[in-house]
Amino acid sequence: MWDYTEKTLDHFKNPRNVGKIENPDGVGQVGSLACGDSLTLMFKLGDDGRIADVKFQTFGCASAIASSSALTEMALGKTLDEAAAITNQAIADYLGGLPEEKMHCSVMGREALEAAIHNYKTGETVIKELPDEHDTLVCKCFNLRESEIRRVIRENALTTVEQVTHYCKAGGACGTCKDDIARLLACNVVLAEGTQNPEPRTQNGDISDGDDSRRGAPACAPSPPKMTILEKIRLIEEVIDREIRPLLALHGGGINLVDIDGDEVTVAFSGMCAGCSSALLTLNGLVQAKLREHVSPTLSVKEG
């Protein structure tokens, strides 16, 4: 059981500012059901330009709920510049600390607030533009790029691969990107100390051979397993039963496997999920993501 502070438990059991705002000035959405955490944050400005109202909706664990609740309390009454200066560490400190394994929840809150402010200033519903060719995709499982991981490392003074996983989930699924995370950690130490030509280390601390030929390739993409069509059907059904159907059932929904044609999987939603306005998000963010993670990264899913 996680060792939560009394303040964290209070914000989990009695979350502040839960709900929606009619005609908000800014809205930010981060996370997904596939990751296990999802957060929507919105705010309304007063005549003085300060945040007069802020609300959130989250799907996640106790730390996600508590972090979101704390963030809204911290943001109330602040200007946008003051709110933008709230760090994930400040959110954790406000709660009296979070278990290191749950620090990614405070990171998610900060990113949601940034996305909401960005939405207010530009009208765009996403905070990140398409990455340039030099911003390498490091963790494909959680779609985390080099610049994002570097930022988490820098802002929280992280020193180990395990800490990076706790703070942003990178390396927490298939694990094949851990050596790349170790290189980013080594580079951060070099930048901090002002030295040059770092010797990259593996996740175990050993000196790397310096071969960067994997850079630019999807670091976390597992090799598709070789399966017969019957093995693929059985595995897909197992993943649906184990990873997908229980989550949908929480909201009164269901799902059935309809057909498999090569790498194309057809499913049908039932219950509350049938005809739901969020069906496409669920299809891509949960069903397809889980099947790609546990069956094959080349799978595509459609509703039929």
Q: Tens digits of per-residue pLDDT, 253-291?
A: 899 999 888 889 999 999 888 887 778 878 887 888 888
**What residue ranges in the chain does DSSP mark as E strands?**
26-32, 37-45, 51-59, 137-139, 144-145, 253-261, 264-271, 300-303
pTM of the model: 0.51
Q: Give the Cα-Cα-Cα angle 39, 41, 47 (nearest 5 degrees).
A: 175
Same domain, 17 and 118: yes
Total number of domains constituting the chain: 3
Virtual torsion, Cα 125, 127, 131, 134, nearest 10 deg: 180
Mean pLDDT by 10 residues, the chain (304 residues): 84 94 92 65 96 91 90 96 92 91 84 91 63 66 81 85 87 85 73 43 41 40 60 89 86 88 90 81 82 85 89
Residue ranges making up the domain that contains 279: 229-303
What's the burial of 246, exposed, middle or buried (CB within 10 Å: 0-12/13-18/19+)? exposed
Answer whether 185's CB lies under 8 Å from 208's CB.
Answer: no
Look up residue 297 and give its amino acid: P
Same domain, 66 and 116: yes
pLDDT at 22: 93
- Residue 105 among the catalytic residues: yes
Q: Domain boundary residue among 181, 196, 222? A: 222
Same domain, 10 and 80: yes
Give me the sign of the Cα torsion angle 96, 91, 148, 42: positive
pLDDT tens string 93-135: 999 999 887 888 888 888 899 999 999 998 877 544 334 445 6
CA–CA separation, 54 vs 82, rounded Å?
A: 14
The one catalytic residue among 105, 139, 168, 177: 105
CATH number for the domain spanning 84: value is 3.90.1010.10
- Residue 35 among the catalytic residues: yes
